[in-house]
């Protein structure tokens, strides 16, 4: 079940009745205040830019198909060094929407979202897609965990832990 927000941080409503039979091209970009709010929602140090080019076309039974491309310039924190780093993320977008009656009849394989109130919020679609595609354990480019190598022999002069236990047992 999706959590409903009273006002999305990045809202770009698209009335579905405005989409012509041949489709429409929608270019959207987040404003600075929206970027700050989205970064807080996604628990990122910063989102510097977020934009999308989306093609909306009519889809079966009064639905809408969204296809396009998302670009985001964001900051993440490395799970290895705990240092922030900046990266540009480029993602494909493909989502399907059906009107309320059509969504109930859709099979589970369709994976279509319902159209609510005759409007699809393109900004929220972009924000959801970005959030779902973020790397859960981000690393700065070139960073890796150092290999930990155990040696079979204790260092010279170190007493074996078993020798310590045997001495305590005999005391």
pLDDT digits (tens, 9 = 90+) for 67-114: 999 999 999 999 988 999 999 999 999 999 998 876 555 455 468 899
Highest average pLDDT, of 33-37, 81-85, 136-140, comes from 33-37
Evaluate whether residue 126 is within a structural domain: yes
Give the domain extent around 116.
13-170
Question: In this predicted structure, what is the pLDDT of residue 1?
Answer: 42
The pair of structure tokens assigned to 157 is 């002069």
Evaluate whether residue 3 is within a structural domain: no
Q: Which of 19-23, 105-109, 144-148 has the lowest mean pLDDT?
A: 105-109
Evaluate whether residue 4 is within a structural domain: no
pLDDT band at 160 (very low <50, low <70, confident <90, very high): confident
The pair of structure tokens assigned to 42 is 């996604």
Evaluate whether residue 6 is within a structural domain: no
Evaluate whether residue 124 is within a structural domain: yes
Helix axes 122-133, 32-41, angle to 10 degrees: 40
Percent of the chain with pLDDT over 90: 63
Other beta carbons within 10 angstroms of residue 115's beta carbon come to: 19
24 pLDDT above the threshold of 90: yes
Q: Which of 20-29, 72-81, 156-165 has the lowest mean pLDDT?
A: 156-165
Question: In this predicted structure, what is the pLDDT of residue 68?
Answer: 97
Question: In this predicted structure, what is the pLDDT of residue 93?
Answer: 97
Evaluate whether residue 38 is within a structural domain: yes
Cβ distance 99 to 114 under 8 Å?
Answer: yes
Evaluate whether residue 110 is within a structural domain: yes
- Please compute the mean of the pLDDT values over residues 128-148 and round it to a whole number: 86
Strand order in the sheet with 46-59: 24-29, 46-59, 63-77, 84-98, 113-114
Q: How many domains does the chain have?
A: 1
Average confidence score pLDDT of the chain: 86
The length of the chain is 171
Evaluate whether residue 8 is within a structural domain: no
């Amino acid at each position: 079940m999706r959590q409903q927000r009273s006002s999305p941080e990045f809202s770009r409503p698209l009335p579905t009745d405005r989409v012509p039979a041949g489709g429409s091209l929608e270019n959207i970009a987040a404003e600075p205040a929206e970027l700050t709010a989205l970064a807080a929602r996604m628990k990122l140090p910063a989102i510097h830019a977020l934009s999308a080019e989306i093609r909306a076309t009519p889809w079966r039974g009064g639905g809408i198909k969204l296809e396009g491309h998302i670009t985001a310039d964001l900051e993440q924190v490395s799970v290895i060094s705990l240092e922030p780093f900046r990266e540009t993320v480029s993602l494909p977008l493909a989502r399907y929407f059906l009107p309320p009656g059509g969504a109930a009849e859709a099979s589970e394989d369709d994976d279509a979202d319902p159209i609510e109130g005759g409007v699809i919020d393109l900004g929220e679609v972009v924000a959801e897609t970005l959030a779902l595609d973020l790397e859960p354990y981000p690393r700065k480019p070139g960073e890796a965990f150092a290999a930990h190598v155990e040696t079979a022999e204790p260092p010279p002069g170190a007493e074996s832990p078993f020798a310590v236990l045997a001495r305590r047992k005999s005391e």
